[in-house]
Amino acid sequence: MSEGQTSEFTFKGVTILTYEQSLEYLASLGKFGMNFGLARIEKLLAIMQHPERRYKIVHITGTNGKGSTTSMLTAILKAAGIKTAMYTSPHLTDYTERMVVNSQPISHEAFGEVVRYTSDFVAQMVGEGWEHPTEFEVLTAAAFYYFAIAGVEYAIIEAGLGGLLDSTNVVQPEVAVITNVTLEHTDRCGGTVGEIAYHKAGIIKPGAPIVTAALGEALEVIRAKAEEKKSRLYVAGQNFAGEFSGIEGKRQVVTVTVNGHKLRPFAMNLLGHHQVENAALAVMAALILAENEARITSEAIDLGLKTAYWPGRFEFVDGEPPIVIDGAHNPAGAKALRSTLDEFFPGQKVTFVLGILADKDVASICDAMVRPRDQVITVEPLSDRAADPKAVAEKVTSSHVEVGATIADGIRRAITLAGSRGLICIAGSLYLVGTARQFIYSRQNYSVEI
């Protein structure tokens, strides 16, 4: 059946929606909002006969780097010959990006199939008097079901928000990873680093090892939870560490040390010093899994890090001018992005296309990312939470600031301002990055004339 058809068809006796119809169904769930708690998803998975228990799981959360770490660990397991799934959010351009098996996103047809299959059980539980699940809960259950029927051995599951009350927190992981903890989502997870760490530490399960690069107060909260759950704790800078070791072609090299023992240097596809820490987290998690999984070897780690790909994270688009696309959307991410720009393009004036959500610390993001000599075009990301680009422009200390009418107009203007020898960086929100990638990649040989 072609993606454009709207008629229904059957799959294993169940009426299935097309991809477009499944998106309409998911959009209709928006009225249920972000209603945190595990009772609904636990009930839904129970009547679906717990698809999430049919494979092994690694659960990953953190303020920054959880997507990149998820991608690298998934690539390592795939390189080891292990059929591996990956569940992430949000998507950049297409819902199918959220459900991936062995590097392949779910097809539009299969997405419609699993959403409709899940919706039947949603109708059943609502008919029994249960509160209606949210969109994210339905997506999570559908992903767990898809991974089960795909026959995966492992699923690397990224938490949506926080951890403790996140819909993904119904799993029993082999290993849990908390990348780091800084202030974000303070309206939902608490106003201090300690309170946010408490939510993220909620993914720690009895006996499951926990790997983290958290520091200070956040680390102490995680340590206390690990002791409570009798879980082995592996801390970056104490039990393991990653060190930037140079550049090899278009890749950077990381050396990982575990309990004082240096492993072989690994060339990695994802760039930036912050990715060195994420790589160390992925390697440590892989080594823990390797205790019971002989297929995970040093060679698999090497190949996985070389091939890991995570769009919108210091994504380099070669051209005149070159473009860097990055989803940095909080002060820590903005600082990491700026550091990487300075490392790979020292002394280069940057022309930014910047779009930020209103619930973010706009001023701190701008201060961390933009230098006075840079040029900035502010635009509005495609989100109902988008900050007014005029308000963002007022927070920028650059000597040249403009407001773009649309994302496409902002990119066109940036290309003109930068010239063929300049550098463009598009950043501030994943809701901006997705649209920008579509615009740029639809023009294969773009130049200053587009």
pLDDT in tens, 335-384: 999 999 998 899 999 999 999 999 899 999 999 999 999 999 999 999 88
Among all chains, which residue has been given the structure tokens 């060195």?
A: 276
Average pLDDT over residues 389-398: 94
The pLDDT, as a whole number, for residue 182 is 86
Q: Is the pLDDT of residue 12 over 60?
A: no
| Residue 85 confidence (pLDDT) | 99
What is the CB neighbour count within 10 angstroms for residue 98? 20
pLDDT over threshold 50, residue 406: yes
**pTM beyond cutoff 0.85:** yes
Question: Across 73-227, where does the E strand assignment appear?
Answer: 84-87, 99-101, 104-105, 154-158, 175-178, 210-212
Question: 9-307, what's its fold?
Answer: UDP-N-acetylmuramoyl-L-alanine:D-glutamate ligase (3.40.1190)
pLDDT one-digit tens code per residue, 228-265: 999 999 999 999 999 999 988 889 999 999 999 999 99
d(C-alpha 410, C-alpha 253), whole Å = 35
- The string of pLDDT tens digits covering residues 268-326 is 999 988 899 999 999 999 999 999 999 999 999 999 999 999 999 999 998 889 999 99
pLDDT confidence of residue 268: 96
Check residue 173 and give its pLDDT. 99
**E strand intervals along 102-180:** 104-105, 154-158, 175-178
Taking CA atoms, 12 is separated from 15, 84, 106, 134, 172, in Å, by: 9, 24, 18, 26, 29
- Quick one: pLDDT band at residue 184, thresholds 50, 70, 90? low
398 or 22, which is more confident: 22
Which residues is 236 bridged to in the sheet?
240
Q: CA 112 from chain center: how many Å?
A: 23
DSSP assignment letter at 291: T
Assigned CATH topology for domain 315-441: Protein-Tyrosine Phosphatase; Chain A (3.90.190)
Res. 32: pLDDT tops 90: no
| Residue 449 confidence (pLDDT) above 90 | no
Give yes or no for a contact between 218 and 181, defined as CB atoms under 8 angstroms apart: yes
- Residue spans of the domains in the chain: they are 9-307, 315-441
Mean pLDDT of 35-40: 89
Alpha helices in 36-94 (DSSP H): 39-47, 66-79
